[in-house]
Amino acid sequence: MKISDKPRQGLLFQAFLLVFVISKAQLSVGVLGFQRVIFKSAGHDAWISVIIAGLAAHLSIWLMIRILAHYDSADLFGIHHALFGKWVGRLFSLLFMMYFAFYVLTISRTYIETVQSWIFPDFPTWLLMLLLIVLIAYGLTGGIRVIIGLCLFGFGCWILTTLFYYAAVRHAQWSFLLPIMEGTPSQLLEGASKMPLTLAGFEVIFFLYPFIRDPQNANRYAQIGVLISNLFYLFVMVVSIVYYSQNQMPKTIWATFSFLKIIRFPFLERFEFIAIPLWMLILVCNLMLFTWVILRGMKRVFQQNQKRSLAVFCALLFACSFLFQEHGQIYKMNSILNSVSTYVIFLYPSLLYLFVKTVHALKKRTVHR
């Protein structure tokens, strides 16, 4: 496998688009109910935990781009091959592909449960999963530039959803934020440890980097993308704290969608019939992007045809949807993904950065000798 991968010019995109791609990749099903799990750990200081996790995300993406900058137009698959050799490098790359596959399954199944909980309780799981698979496959036929464009569209839909919080802000009790810093440092860190699932997504920079036309600007725009996501999560957390009481928050599973209950129009009684389908347009961009990473890995690492890989992956995704039917199983999936994401987006980039710096330092010392 070639370490460097230089796509043709027609596939490249400007670095400023990372603002929309990175922030959009981070916006996933975690935002639908992350408030409850963090509030259980940090109480009304949960917004501080969000800030702590957000700062860690900024550091992590800086490390990722520093790693990529040590190589000429290489993605993480090529870096694995260069650092660990053919077989061990393949193993690490395969683990990353499995991580993204589990991510796609978790996002899909969690969204389906949302539809079944809020709109159509008897809607068949397999039918909605089939609809998502068709959308994923159709989007992937257009290639990475089409996916980037859809992420831009999804970003616009996401900005539109921020208007939904106006009704909740009107009923806010700002005294619920007081007293500040009542939680202990251990409680705040415990709350921050529940954020990786919500923050995950920016690790796609590991695979998008070779497609950036001006990589010297990648860090700046990627950091802006992460900042937008962090500010949004902070805003949602603060609004949730001042809207729900201390007794309500730990019992509200879908805290973000529960805001919709107070939105009323003369011609529309249940606003979630509009908001939840809109969220499908937002989430399907992530599903396409993460599936693209998997297909690219199959091509780069195992030299497999991408169309054949897509067909196999879609069949497996459809089959796995039958394995997770109960809420407890889906909650367990999200918990596992949160734990795995902690290692993928925080721990692994740190260790890999140290390893890359050590290898390059040893190479320089050998050359000087």
Rg (CA), the chain: 21
Dump pLDDT digits (tens) for 75-134. 999 999 999 999 999 999 999 999 999 999 999 999 999 899 888 888 899 999 999 999
pLDDT at 94: 96
- Do residues 254 and 35 touch, judged by C-beta distance below 8 A? no
Dump pLDDT digits (tens) for 30-72. 888 899 999 999 999 999 999 999 999 999 999 999 999 988 8
- Do residues 162 and 232 touch, judged by C-beta distance below 8 A? yes
Q: Comparing 326 with 213, which gets the higher pLDDT? A: 213
For range 176-198, the mean pLDDT: 91
251 pLDDT band, cuts 50/70/90, is confident
pLDDT at 267: 67
Dump pLDDT digits (tens) for 127-172. 999 999 999 999 998 889 999 999 999 898 888 888 778 878 888 8
Per-residue pLDDT for 29 more than 90?
no
pLDDT at 236: 92
For range 273-278, the mean pLDDT: 82
Burial status of residue 33 (CB atoms within 10 A of its CB: 0-12, 13-18, 19 or more)? buried
Distance CA 137, CA 314 (A): 8
CA-nearest of 323, 11, 27 to 200 is: 27
Q: Which of 16-30, 108-122, 261-275, 345-359 has the lowest mean pLDDT?
A: 261-275
Distance CA 99, CA 105 (A): 10
pLDDT at 66: 94
CB within 8 Å of 314: residues ≥ 6 apart: 133, 136, 137
Residue labelled with tokens 């725009």: 221
Q: What percent of the chain has pLDDT over 70?
A: 99
**Whether pTM exceeds 0.75:** yes
Average pLDDT of the chain is: 90
For range 271-291, the mean pLDDT: 87
What is the token pair recorded at 63?
Answer: 């490390």
Distance CA 237, CA 351 (A): 31
What is the token pair recorded at 187?
Answer: 């409680």
Per-residue pLDDT for 206 more than 80?
yes
CA-nearest of 165, 185, 334 to 241 is: 165
Q: Comparing 256 with 17, which gets the higher pLDDT? A: 17
Per-residue pLDDT for 263 more than 80?
no
pLDDT at 142: 86
Per-residue pLDDT for 260 more than 90?
no
Distance CA 35, CA 71 (A): 39
For range 179-185, the mean pLDDT: 89
* Alpha helices (runs of H) in 70-184, residue ranges in sequence order: 76-118, 125-140, 144-161, 166-170
Residue labelled with tokens 């347009």: 281
CA-nearest of 322, 332, 351 to 124 is: 322
pLDDT at 369: 61
